[in-house]
Each structure stands twice: as C-alpha cells, then as structure tokens.
Structure 1
Amino acid sequence: MEWLTDEERQGLFDTFERDAFHLEMRDVYRVEDEVEPLRKWRQGVWTEEEAAQWWEPWLVKMRKATGEGRTVRRLRIVTEPITDYTRFLWEGTRFNVSAGEDVRWLPRHLVPEGTVLPPEDVWLFDDSRLIFNHFDERALSMRMERVRDPEMIALVVQVRDALWPLAIPHEEYRPV
C-alpha cells in the first residue's frame, strides 16, 4: 500500500486541474476534531458563529479551487432514516455549498441493485488520481492510500458517472 504523507494529504487540493470527486459511504465517522462540535450540536448549543469558524479552514481550500474554475463534487450515500451524525453533516453542508462544492445525497435504497462500490470512501482527482480513505472498526479515519490500479480508477469513474445523476442536490434533499 502506498500511504500518503501528511504533506501529500494537505496538498491534494493544490494539485488537481479540473475535477475533484469525493464519495462518502458511511453513516457515522469518528473524526477527532468533530467530537466537540458534534457534542455541542447535539446539546443545541452549537452557534452559527462557531459552525462558520469550524468549517472555515476547509472552506478556504474550496473557495480557492472553485474560484479558479475547478469543480469539487461530493456524493454522500446515506441510510435512511439518517443518523444524528449524518444530520450534523447535512446541517453543515450549507457551508460547503456556499464555498462552491456541489454536494449531493443518495439514499442507500436508491443505489441500483448490483452496483459495485469501491471498498472505501474515495477522492478521485481528474479521473486519474485515486485516494482511498481507510477506517478502523470504530469508523475512525486512519490513513489515506494512493491507488494506482487502472481497473479500480475506472470502477470509481463508472460509479460516479452512474450515481451522480441519481443523487439529490443538497438544496433539494430533505433527510428522513
């Protein structure tokens, strides 16, 4: 396996030319820097100002990429009824969209039968650079792997092209 270094991971959005596509397929993620925001959100004390500040580092990257005419797309396959965690993401996705990301939601039951999905969440850059995000049994993101297998890259392109038109734009999706 070819693991990305922290520097490579940080620079992913500086090096793509046209299109970045993210496929997320988990209903729960455990991310260290989300623990406190999620706790506050669940308690109803997560303010708009705190949310905006928390999202800002990501939004800077997205504004830069989309401001240069590059496309950033995110497809979230979700189980309905959605988890609290997914609702937390759904509520915050307005920030992603405001920075130029095109985010869509696809209820898992609408994924066509027989669709072969990649084994992990992925980032695909310019239809040629594929990154797997590996998770442990607790849904904790562990490491990112560069995948050079042309067949896996082709599979992800095929999945994206088949599922993207079926997915619901963020502005229209009403989670169950």
Structure 2
Amino acid sequence: MKLLRIGTAAVAGMACAFALTAPADAARPPSHPGGKPPGAGPASQCTRGGYANYQTTSGARFATATECTKYVAGGGVLVPVPVGFVSVTLQATPNPDFCKVLISGQGFTPLTTYDAEILWTDRLGSQGYIGNYATTDAAGSFIDNDTYIYTAPGENLTVTVGGVTSAPVPEQC
C-alpha cells in the first residue's frame, strides 16, 4: 500500500478548486434589479385579465392589457376599480298598499347609467320585476327614489344595479 502525502498548499488548492466548482446558484446575487423576479412589478397586474380590475388615477378604464402595461411603464399608478354597493330602503306612502323604494349606491363608475332591476319574491316563490335605471354622479354614487311597488306581507325585495345585488329587504313600510 502506498501512502500519498499531501501538503498544506495542496489542501488549500483543492479547497479553492472545490469552491470554483460549487453549484452555479450558490450565493449568486439576484440577476434582477432590486432582487425582484421578472413580472413582480405593477405591470404584471395588467396580465391575465388583471387590467380589468384596475383603472388610472383619473378613473379611466383599460381596454387591453397592453394599454394598462404602457400606462404603468409611463409612470402611471394603477388604482383598483371600485366595487359597487347597493342599498334599498322602503318608505310608507299615503296609500298603504304601496311603498316608495329608495335605491342608493356607491363605488360605481362615475357618470354612467346602469340598468336597475327590482325583483321581489313572494311566499310561494312567484317573482315580480320592474326595470329602471340609475345614473351615477362624478363620485360614482347614485340615488333613485322614483319607484313605487305594491306591497304584500312576506315578500322580499332585491335590487341589482350594474351586476351588484342588494341584500334582501322585507316588503314592509
């Protein structure tokens, strides 16, 4: 058996050679500015249909992902599209068989007219429907108080505006 004697210099040289052959990703600094992976910035929120969830700071909506991405690349800030909220209140009228329906909403696109669907369901499951509309102001809010409905105990009323439905309201005024 032959023994090989290795000196200190040889051990240091082997350690250096080992360090040079370490895995490529070990202790490598990130190759992206700021260490963020590609697609982690605001423009990535425009992809995969995400542009529909954002608007400009002035409230303008994006028609395409490219339009959204260009806006961000130009220094624009993405603002989430507001989520609408619809509220319904019933008021008594001089005729006890009818209620005045007060519909209000907020968080909609400013200066836009929406279809307003008033739907009620009676105890037997039958439904009634009235079509109406609601127009928002510059802040995206609206109030509609021009609708009257016939009331029947046990019926519930909901209102849908722009795809947003109110909580059910019992028809009692």
TM-score, structure 2 as length reference: 0.19
**RCO comparison, higher one (Cα < 8 Å, 6+):** 1
TM-score, structure 1 as length reference: 0.19
Larger radius of gyration: 2
Q: Which one has a larger percent strand, Structure 1 or Structure 2?
A: 2
Q: Which one has a larger percent helix, Structure 1 or Structure 2?
A: 1
